Structure 1
Amino acid sequence: MMASKGGFTGPPMNPNLNPMNVGHPAGMRMPGMLQPPTGYPRSIPQFAQRPGIPPSRMGGPMGVMGSQMPGPSYGGGNLPMRPGMDASRKRFLHQQQQQEALGSLRRGAKRRKMADKVLPQRIRDLVPESQAYMDLLAFERKLDQTIARKRMEIQEAIKKPIMQKRKLRIYISNTFTPSKPEGEESEKVSSWELRVEGKLLEEPGKQKRKFSSFFKSLVIELDKELYGPDNHLVEWHRMPTTQETDGFQVKRPGDVNVKCTLLLMLDHQPPQYKLDPRLARLLGVHTQTRASIMQALWLYIKNNKLQDCHEKEFINCNRYFRQIFNCPRMRFSEIPMKLAGLLQHPDPIVINHIISVDPTDQKKTACYDIDVEVDDPLKTQMNSFLSSANSQQEIATLEMKIHETIEYINQLKTERDFMLSFSNSPQEFIQDWLKSQCRDLKLMTDVTGNPEEERRAEFYEAPWMPEAVGRYVYSKVSNGRGRSVFRCSHSKDALKRAFFFSF
């Protein structure tokens, strides 16, 4: 180390201070600070500091964020070095950085990507058989894309009603109970009982749908002359609290044949509407959902070119539309409102039946087949496919195993390279390994600089030394710890000694 040649003693040197991380240019001076002597050598020109940028982020050849200076590098690792920082504080920052790095690794482990399953090229060159795994990986990528596309298509398709037409067979039968003489335990008045039941033909599933679930309402109209105007109707209407049943039964007194009419209103999902006869003939649609009616109406407008050429939001009505909508021109936004007045409830299913009290006809059952719409069984399979969690869990488990296997292969490759390098050149390998361990030790123990080079006089004759001394002195002055250097003497000799012996 350099010894003092005069009576002027520079400020004590902090062994943990890194003169190259001070970050202040030598050309910057505080107010009231003595200017350096005219003959003081400068190796580089001054750089002005831009507003809003701290001095530690100055650019230029000597800036901390600029190009690296010639000579040995200072600083240990990525720890922020500040003059006068306590060693315990440095260790705390080092531990904090390690914890943040560990947390980021854990978060990254949860979000593994397809790239994590790719074998590195150096492993593929070493093991040619690994190409089969890469082929499987490429096939898996295509398969995942296909499944994802199909899943999206199913999600879009399941939003729309997927219906299937089936045959519902309705069974209508009745029984008659004659009156008995007085004294016997039986009905004193003759009565009949009507039963209305039904089931789907060729129902594939074991779970049978209740008969009442197909209808919104059921009305049985009996002969008004026999039962009067107040007792000739039997009505059932669906309510939010209605419990489904397999059939309906009606019991009334009587000993003569009764004519009855059954009115069955189907429960369409989504609801269907009956069109005005004029519009139905024009569009070719009798009873359909609102969406299907709007689609048929738009196709008619498009095919007949009724849309205005200049004002696209208007429709020019032809003579049929003028008769139906009672206007020569209308907007697209007015169609739903005008169409609402032309929609009616669909016609009920009408079944005429005679309730017979003849004992020979009681065993006869009338059957009627009607078309109903039920949910397509494919919709249930779609829902189960979208909501299946077992397959997703199994895939996630296999993905985790693949990632662990790839990590293990990379670890084995690193170990192989380690041992192969040692076997090729043991001496060079040991030297490189010791250098690496030395660098790691410096990072762990917060040792800065290079003690082996700093103990030699040539180290302090490097061309970057004058600028480093200037930066160091200026940092001392700006931090308030080196003002005593300039209080002793204002002479040029004292200033020179302050520059050289304060390091």
Structure 2
Amino acid sequence: MAQRFPPSQPTPSPVQQPQRYPTPSGPPLRQYATPTFPLQQRPGGFVQGGGMGSGMMPRPQQQPYNPIRPPIPQSQKRPSDVRPPQQQPKGEFPHTSAGGSSGKKKKKLADKILPQKVRDLVPESQAYMDLLAFERKLDSTIMRKRLDIQEALKRPMKQKRKLRIFISNTFYPAKEATETEEGSVASWELRVEGRLLEDSKNDPNKPPPLQVKRKFSSFFKSLVIELDKELYGPDNHLVEWHRTPTTQETDGFQVKRPGDKNVRCTILLLLDYQPLQFKLDTRLARLLGVHTQTRPVIISALWQYIKTHKLQDPHEREYINCDKYLEQTFSCPRMKFAEIPQRLNPLLHPPDPIVINHIISVEGTEQKQTACYDIDVEVDDTLKTQMNNFLLSTASQQEIQSLDNKIHETVETINQLKTNREFFLSFAKDPQQFINKWIISQTRDLKTMTDVVGNPEEERRAEFYYQNWAQEAVCRYFYTKVQQKRAELEQALGIRNT
């Protein structure tokens, strides 16, 4: 019977002994080409009188030695349902344990889904699953709408509004000098102001949308007031204002001049179109029915005219066969569609200014006389601001995230309770077998936690050493010892020879 060695005793390290024998004479030691010993195998076990190899068991033909323990048979494996439920403190979950925010696992949609076993036990949970499917559809719809809004914001969104211009003048008669006051000559003052009118289409019961008030000058690119040249001469009859990158916006313009006669003046207002608009050549404007528009709208109207009159070449689709009107306008019988923007440039002119003829009256003394004019202007659609606010709003996102966290925590709690139920249900069915399996499971967990090497319970039995790997281990152990002694001997001989 094999002798049992306690596994806790470490293998003693070899101690180098002093040289006790003289150097042998004769041929040197023979080296073997393979890491095995030439054993004289006989049926029945050990070799009698085999010299160094005597007393050793024959080495069986099998796979190379693997230092890793052999796998545990399926019958000895720990069942998966005997682990006790892991108790978590209330309100605390595995993903929120020590490790900080970097250790939190990323929550996914799959973490919201209840296991099938839970749904079978609780039929009411199907209502939750229906809500979950509806939430996915709703999220998909909202995402599509957000993408649509982002695409819509890339295009200019304008609406037409009425801008009411107020042109007023006040006459100040001459005053003679007195002992207390200085005298002054007769003069007049002209003011040009304006404001946007409320949209009449809005519901009167509905509060108007919040808007940022625009300055009067922000609607115009330039303003020119031309006075009577005969009264004020060629050098003082023009008052001009032009927009620059550093222009400060204002609510109105004011002009003050000396005089006591009625003055004819012409006010030229050039709107600041965003995006830029152009006035079409007269012939092209009559052809397309467009007077002043942006470049994309003009090209689209021209393409519509080409399609309507079937002017695209049937064979060479990139060419346009001009009819007599287009030929007169573009001065060519045929042109490529890609050439249209370039050929349109000479036919596009700056838009006409708004011209207002006004008479500055000096009949009333220090009485303000006002004239009103309404013009159409384009302003940003208020819906654009609401779209931007919708895309930038994060209040609802934070609330949704908070609710999602609660759902994840609830689902994790349900899964934990399911594990507890399966644990106690297994115990109720067969307490004895359950406790045995549980003790085996806990024993393996304890060995894993305490880093115990080997299996003392198995190693104390003789059958453990009759397995196939034991023979391989014995051979390798003796081979290692022989190699170690041989190295010590060669080292000692080398030192003696020197």
RMSD of the alignment, in Å? 3.9
Q: Which residue of 1 aligns with 2:114?
A: 119
Answer yes or no: is the 8 Å Cα contact 2:170–2:369 preserved in 1. no
What SS does the aligned partner of 1:369 have? strand
* 12 and 304 in structure 1: CA distance in 2 versus 1, 3 angstrom threshold: farther
Q: Deviations over 1:128-164 (max 9, x none)?
A: 2222222222222221111111111111111111111
Which of 189, 192, 205 in structure 2 is aligned with 1:193?
189
Larger RCO, structures 1/2 (Cα 8 Å, 6+ apart): 1
Q: Distance in 1 between matches of 2:269 and 2:383?
A: 28
Residues 330-349 of structure 1 correspond to what in structure 2 (within 5 A)? 330-349=335-354
Q: Deviations over 1:380-421 (max 9, x none)?
A: 111111111222112111111111121122112222222232
Residues 59-208 of structure 1 correspond to what in structure 2 (within 5 A)? 109=104, 111-183=106-178, 185=181, 188-202=184-198, 204=208, 205=210, 207-208=212-213
Q: How far does residue 306 in structure 1 lie from its aligned partner after superposition?
A: 3.8
Q: Which residue of 2 aligns with 1:238?
A: 243
Answer yes or no: is the 8 Å Cα contact 1:169–1:199 preserved in 2. yes
Larger Rg belongs to: 2
Q: Which residue of 2 aligns with 1:260?
A: 265
Q: How far does residue 183 in structure 1 lie from its aligned partner after superposition?
A: 2.8
* 41 and 391 in structure 1: CA distance in 2 versus 1, 3 angstrom threshold: same
Q: Which amino acid aligns with 2:439?
A: L
* 298 and 186 in structure 1: CA distance in 2 versus 1, 3 angstrom threshold: farther
Q: Distance in 2 between matches of 1:334 and 1:313?
A: 10
Q: Which residue of 1 aligns with 2:25?
A: none
Q: Deviations over 1:189-235 (max 9, x none)?
A: 11111111111111644643211111111111111111111111111
How many percent of aligned residue pairs carry the same amino acid? 64
Q: Which amino acid aligns with 2:178?
A: G
Q: Distance in 1 between matches of 2:300 and 2:473?
A: 80
More divergent stretch after superposition (146-155 vs 303-312): 303-312
Q: Does residue 1:354 correspond to 2:350, yes or no?
A: no
Answer yes or no: is the 8 Å Cα contact 2:226–2:265 preserved in 1. yes
Which consecutive residues of structure 1, in runs of 5 or more, have no partner in the other structure? 5-10, 15-29, 47-54, 57-61, 77-101, 489-503
More divergent stretch after superposition (142-151 vs 319-328): 319-328
Residues 452-471 of structure 1 correspond to what in structure 2 (within 5 A)? 452-462=457-467, 465=468, 470=472
More divergent stretch after superposition (275-284 vs 177-186): 177-186
More divergent stretch after superposition (345-354 vs 115-124): 115-124
Q: How far does residue 268 in structure 1 lie from its aligned partner after superposition?
A: 1.2
Q: How many residues align?
A: 421
Q: Distance in 1 between matches of 2:107 and 2:188?
A: 74
What SS does the aligned partner of 1:452 have? helix
* 32 and 271 in structure 1: CA distance in 2 versus 1, 3 angstrom threshold: same
* 37 and 282 in structure 1: CA distance in 2 versus 1, 3 angstrom threshold: farther
Q: Which residue of 2 aligns with 1:219?
A: 224
* 471 and 461 in structure 1: CA distance in 2 versus 1, 3 angstrom threshold: closer
Q: Deviations over 1:301-351 (max 9, x none)?
A: 344444444544444444433333334444444333222222211111111
What SS does the aligned partner of 1:365 have? strand
Q: Distance in 2 between matches of 1:475 and 1:154?
A: 77
Q: Which residue of 2 aligns with 1:423?
A: 428
Q: Which residue of 1 aligns with 2:89?
A: none
Q: How far does residue 32 in structure 1 lie from its aligned partner after superposition?
A: 4.9
Q: Which amino acid aligns with 1:202?
A: E
Q: Distance in 2 between matches of 1:437 and 1:117?
A: 31
Q: Deviations over 1:454-482 (max 9, x none)?
A: 433334444xx16x8559967998xxx56
Q: Does residue 1:436 correspond to 2:436, yes or no?
A: no
Which of 230, 234, 257 in structure 2 is aligned with 1:229?
234
Q: Distance in 2 between matches of 1:251 and 1:387?
A: 48
TM-score, normalised on structure 2? 0.73
* 471 and 296 in structure 1: CA distance in 2 versus 1, 3 angstrom threshold: farther
Answer yes or no: is the 8 Å Cα contact 2:265–2:360 preserved in 1. yes
Q: Which residue of 1 aligns with 2:483?
A: 484
Q: How far does residue 63 in structure 1 lie from its aligned partner after superposition?
A: 13
Answer yes or no: is the 8 Å Cα contact 2:269–2:353 preserved in 1. yes
Q: Distance in 2 between matches of 1:273 and 1:103?
A: 67
Answer yes or no: is the 8 Å Cα contact 2:118–2:418 preserved in 1. yes
Q: Distance in 2 between matches of 1:420 and 1:267?
A: 80
Which of 380, 404, 423 in structure 2 is aligned with 1:399?
404
Residues 268-279 of structure 1 correspond to what in structure 2 (within 5 A)? 268-279=273-284
Answer yes or no: is the 8 Å Cα contact 1:473–1:482 preserved in 2. no
Which consecutive residues of structure 2, in runs of 5 or more, have no partner in the other structure? 5-9, 14-31, 42-57, 79-96, 200-207, 488-498
Which of 239, 250, 257 in structure 1 is aligned with 2:255?
250
Q: How far does residue 126 in structure 1 lie from its aligned partner after superposition?
A: 1.9
Q: Distance in 2 between matches of 1:130 and 1:445?
A: 42
What SS does the aligned partner of 2:170 have? strand
TM-score, normalised on structure 1? 0.73
Answer yes or no: is the 8 Å Cα contact 1:73–1:449 preserved in 2. no
Answer yes or no: is the 8 Å Cα contact 1:117–1:403 preserved in 2. yes
* 74 and 414 in structure 1: CA distance in 2 versus 1, 3 angstrom threshold: closer
Q: Distance in 1 between matches of 2:328 and 2:476?
A: 96
* 3 and 318 in structure 1: CA distance in 2 versus 1, 3 angstrom threshold: farther
Q: Which amino acid aligns with 2:406?
A: K
Q: Which amino acid aligns with 1:323?
A: Q
Q: Distance in 1 between matches of 2:317 and 2:477?
A: 74
Q: Which residue of 2 aligns with 1:365?
A: 370
More divergent stretch after superposition (311-320 vs 426-435): 311-320
* 427 and 33 in structure 1: CA distance in 2 versus 1, 3 angstrom threshold: closer
Q: Which amino acid aligns with 1:2?
A: A
Q: How far does residue 236 in structure 1 lie from its aligned partner after superposition?
A: 0.8
Q: Deviations over 1:102-147 (max 9, x none)?
A: 9999668453111111111212222222222222222222211111
What SS does the aligned partner of 2:254 have? strand
What SS does the aligned partner of 2:245 have? coil
Q: How far does residue 42 in structure 1 lie from its aligned partner after superposition?
A: 5.6
Q: Distance in 1 between matches of 2:129 and 2:294?
A: 52
